[in-house]
Amino acid sequence: MRLIETFSECDHGPCARSGRGQPAAAVTTSPAFTGLFASSMVGATNPEAERNGRASDMHPIEDLKKQFRETFELTEPVEWSGVRYRETKAWTSVAHMQLVAAIEDLFGIMLDTDDVIDMSSFERAIEILKKYDVHFAT
């Protein structure tokens, strides 16, 4: 198994480094692990989501809330404005990538790397998804 360091130099969100110059986490490049993130290739689409439309009959906001609840093990009632990276205990770098993969599969989209890095709260996730033509009721 080969390990690579995180590539981002950002100082906020899930990609942030701990201390100066020290990566917050390392990523494995084993085939099983990289398969999980295969949908993160820029420009790729999810053919199954395209064939079947959205993965559920729920409204997109409910789909998104369900993904956040499942990924971060949130229990009701959830104060959605308080669901943020570093404020939500279960929001680790691995959980972040699981959320990204689930959102990409659910909505049949490919998130840009900058958007993956910038997704640091539930509210920010909604803003980002609007760029990908995911429509939320206002």
**Predicted local distance difference test score (pLDDT) of residue 136:** 85
Alpha carbon distance 55, 48 (integer Å): 9
86 within domain boundaries: yes
Do 107 and 54 meet the contact criterion of CB atoms below 8 Å apart? yes
137 within domain boundaries: no
Tokens in use for 46?
């999810």
Number of folded domains in the chain? 1
Q: What is the pLDDT along the chain (138 residues), one digit of tens a residue?
A: 333 334 344 445 554 444 444 444 444 443 444 444 443 433 444 443 443 344 456 689 999 999 999 999 999 999 999 999 999 999 999 999 999 999 999 999 999 999 999 999 999 999 999 999 998 875
59 within domain boundaries: yes
23 within domain boundaries: yes
Q: Point out which residues pair with 26 in neighbouring strands.
A: 5
User: Structural domain of residue 94, as residue ranges?
Assistant: 3-130
**Predicted local distance difference test score (pLDDT) of residue 109:** 96
Tokens in use for 54?
């959205």
Alpha carbon distance 56, 64 (integer Å): 11
Alpha carbon distance 67, 41 (integer Å): 21
111 within domain boundaries: yes
**Predicted local distance difference test score (pLDDT) of residue 137:** 75
**Predicted local distance difference test score (pLDDT) of residue 57:** 61
Indicate the pTM of the whole model: 0.61
Do 104 and 93 meet the contact criterion of CB atoms below 8 Å apart? no
Phi, psi at 25, each rounded to 5°: -160, 165
136 within domain boundaries: no
58 within domain boundaries: yes
**Predicted local distance difference test score (pLDDT) of residue 43:** 40
**Predicted local distance difference test score (pLDDT) of residue 56:** 53
34 within domain boundaries: yes
